[in-house]
Amino acid sequence: MPSCTFALKILPLVTGRFGSRASCPALAAVRALSCTAARCQLHNVKGTGALTGKVDRFGGVTVNLAEIGLPADISEKSFSTLLQDSLLQWKADGKVAVWLRVPISLSRCAAAASTHGFTFHHAKHDHAVLALWLGEGESRLPGFATHQIGVAGAVVDESNGKVLVVQDKNKTKNAWKFPGGLSDPGENIGATAVREVYEETGVRSEFRSLLSIRQQHNHPGAFGMSDMYIICRLSPVTYDINFCTQECLRCEWLDLTELAKTNETTPITTRIARLLLHGLERGFQHVDLTMEELPAVYSGMFYQLYHRQLPPTLKP
Amino acid sequence: MPSCTFALKILPLVTGRFGSRASCPALAAVRALSCTAARCQLHNVKGTGALTGKVDRFGGVTVNLAEIGLPADISEKSFSTLLQDSLLQWKADGKVAVWLRVPISLSRCAAAASTHGFTFHHAKHDHAVLALWLGEGESRLPGFATHQIGVAGAVVDESNGKVLVVQDKNKTKNAWKFPGGLSDPGENIGATAVREVYEETGVRSEFRSLLSIRQQHNHPGAFGMSDMYIICRLSPVTYDINFCTQECLRCEWLDLTELAKTNETTPITTRIARLLLHGLERGFQHVDLTMEELPAVYSGMFYQLYHRQLPPTLKP
Check whether residue A157 and residue A281 sit in a common domain: yes
Q: Is A139 part of any domain?
A: no
**Of A186, A181, A175, A265, which is closest to residue A231 (Cα–Cα)?**
A181
Q: Is B76 part of any domain?
A: yes
Cα B139 to Cα A170, A191, A220, B98: the distances in Å are 19, 20, 20, 11
ipTM of the complex: 0.81
Cα B225 to Cα A60, A146, B160, B243: the distances in Å are 20, 10, 40, 30
**Is the predicted pLDDT of residue A286 greater than 70, yes or no?**
yes
Q: What is the pLDDT of residues B164-200, one digit of tens each?
A: 999 998 776 789 999 999 999 999 999 999 999 999 9
Of A89, A108, A133, the one marking the end of a domain is A133
Check whether residue B128 and residue B155 sit in a common domain: no
Say what percent of chain A tops pLDDT 90: 71
Q: What is the pLDDT of residues B191-213, one digit of tens each?
A: 999 999 999 999 999 999 999 99
Q: Count other Cβ atoms within 10 Å, centred on residue A67.
A: 12
- The highest-confidence range among A46-50, A69-73, B45-49, B101-105, by mean pLDDT, is B101-105
A122–B223 CB contact, under 8 Å = yes
Cα separation, A310 vs A307, whole angstroms? 9
Give chain B positions within 8 Å (CB) of A211: 307-308
Check whether residue A118 and residue A186 sit in a common domain: no
What secondary structure letter does DSSP report for A125? B
Cα A7 to Cα A84, A242, B21: the distances in Å are 15, 66, 52
Cα separation, A70 vs A85, whole angstroms? 15
**Is the predicted pLDDT of residue B143 greater than 70, yes or no?**
yes
B76, B196, B199, B252: the active-site residue:
B199
B185–A216 CB contact, under 8 Å = no
Interface of B with A in 84-143 (CB under 8 A): 104-111, 114, 119-129, 142-143
Q: What pLDDT, on the 0 to 100 scale, is given for residue A173? A: 77
B274–A316 CB contact, under 8 Å = yes
What is the residue range of A231's domain?
147-289
Q: What pLDDT, on the 0 to 100 scale, is given for residue A23? A: 31
Give chain B positions within 8 Å (CB) of A217: 186, 188, 301
Q: How confident is the model at residue B315 (pLDDT cuts 50, 70, 90)?
A: low
Q: What pLDDT, on the 0 to 100 scale, is given for residue B314? A: 63
Which of A111, A218, A307 is nearest residue B211 as measured by Cβ atoms? A307
**Is the predicted pLDDT of residue A91 greater than 60, yes or no?**
yes
Q: What pLDDT, on the 0 to 100 scale, is given for residue B309? A: 86
Q: Which residue of A has its CA nearest to B284?
A: A308
Q: Is B212 part of any domain?
A: yes
In this structure, the strands spanning B226-236 and A290-295 are unpaired
Give chain A positions within 8 Å (CB) of B57: 170
Is B264 assigned a catalytic role?
A: no
Mean per-residue pLDDT of chain A: 84
Q: Which residue of B has its CA nearest to A299?
A: B220
Which of A57, A104, A119 is nearest residue B110 as measured by Cβ atoms? A104
Interface of A with B in 245-304 (CB under 8 A): 266-268, 270-272, 274-275, 277-278, 286-289, 294-299, 301, 303-304
Say what percent of chain B tops pLDDT 90: 71
Q: Is A142 part of any domain?
A: no
Q: What is the pLDDT of residues A27-58, one digit of tens each?
A: 233 223 233 332 222 222 344 467 989 998 88
Q: Is A185 part of any domain?
A: yes
Cα separation, B210 vs B214, whole angstroms? 12
Q: What is the CATH number of the domain that holds A112?
A: 3.40.630.30
Q: Which residue of B has its CA nearest to A274?
A: B314
Q: What pLDDT, on the 0 to 100 scale, is given for residue A176? A: 97
**Is the predicted pLDDT of residue B5 greater than 50, yes or no?**
no
Min CA distance, B257 vs chain A (Å)?
Answer: 12
Q: What is the pLDDT of residues B53-81, one digit of tens each?
A: 999 888 899 999 999 999 999 999 999 99
Q: Which of A2-16, A58-72, A294-308, B238-252 has the lowest mean pLDDT?
A: A2-16
Domain count, chain A: 2
Q: Is A46 part of any domain?
A: yes
Check whether residue A235 and residue A185 sit in a common domain: yes
Q: Are B287 and B211 spatial neighbours (Cβ–Cβ below 8 Å)? A: yes
Q: What pLDDT, on the 0 to 100 scale, is given for residue B30? A: 29
Query: Percent helix, strand and coil across chain B, each rounded to 5?
Result: 30, 30, 35
Check whether residue A160 and residue A268 sit in a common domain: yes
Helix (H, G, I), strand (E, B) or coil at A220: coil
Interface of A with B in 188-217 (CB under 8 A): 188-189, 210-217
Check whether residue B45 and residue B91 sit in a common domain: yes
Of A133, A168, A200, the one marking the end of a domain is A133
Cα separation, B97 vs B100, whole angstroms? 10
Q: What is the CATH number of the domain that holds B198?
A: 3.90.79.10
Check whether residue B128 and residue B178 sit in a common domain: no
Q: What pLDDT, on the 0 to 100 scale, is given for residue A127? A: 98
Helix (H, G, I), strand (E, B) or coil at B290: strand
A76, A199, A247, A258: the active-site residue:
A199
Q: What is the pLDDT of residues B253-286, one digit of tens each?
A: 999 999 999 999 999 999 999 999 999 999 999 9
Cα separation, A87 vs A81, whole angstroms? 10
Q: What is the pLDDT of residues B80-111, one digit of tens each?
A: 999 999 999 999 999 999 999 999 999 999 99
Check whether residue A50 and residue A82 sit in a common domain: yes
Q: Is B161 part of any domain?
A: yes
A267–B311 CB contact, under 8 Å = no
Check whether residue A70 and residue A151 sit in a common domain: no
Check whether residue A210 and residue A246 sit in a common domain: yes
Q: What pLDDT, on the 0 to 100 scale, is given for residue A314? A: 62
Q: What pLDDT, on the 0 to 100 scale, is given for residue A315? A: 61
Q: Is B87 part of any domain?
A: yes
Q: What is the pLDDT of residues A269-281, one digit of tens each?
A: 999 999 999 999 9
Q: What pLDDT, on the 0 to 100 scale, is given for residue A43? A: 27
**Is the predicted pLDDT of residue A292 greater than 50, yes or no?**
yes
Q: What pLDDT, on the 0 to 100 scale, is given for residue B316? A: 56
How many CB pairs (< 8 A) connect A and B? Answer: 259
Q: How confident is the model at residue B41 (pLDDT cuts 50, 70, 90)?
A: very low
Cα separation, B248 vs A53, whole angstroms? 29
A310–B275 CB contact, under 8 Å = yes
Q: What is the pLDDT of residues A135-185, one digit of tens each?
A: 999 999 999 999 999 999 999 999 999 999 999 987 767 899 999 999 999
B287–A306 CB contact, under 8 Å = no
Work out the average pLDDT over B1-21. 27
Check whether residue A74 and residue A192 sit in a common domain: no
Helix (H, G, I), strand (E, B) or coil at A8: helix
Check whether residue B159 and residue B109 sit in a common domain: no
Q: What pLDDT, on the 0 to 100 scale, is given for residue B19? A: 27
Give chain A positions within 8 Å (CB) of B124: 120, 122, 224
Q: What is the pLDDT of residues A181-235, one digit of tens each?
A: 999 999 999 999 999 999 999 999 999 999 999 999 988 788 999 999 999 999 9
Work out the average pLDDT over B236-241. 98
Strand order in the sheet with B119-124: B54-55, B60-64, B97-103, B127-133, B119-124
**Is the predicted pLDDT of residue B138 greater than 60, yes or no?**
yes
Residue B148 touches chain A, beta carbons under 8 Å? yes
Which of A105, A218, A305 is nearest residue B212 as measured by Cβ atoms? A305
Give chain A positions within 8 Å (CB) of B175: 297
B223–A129 CB contact, under 8 Å = yes
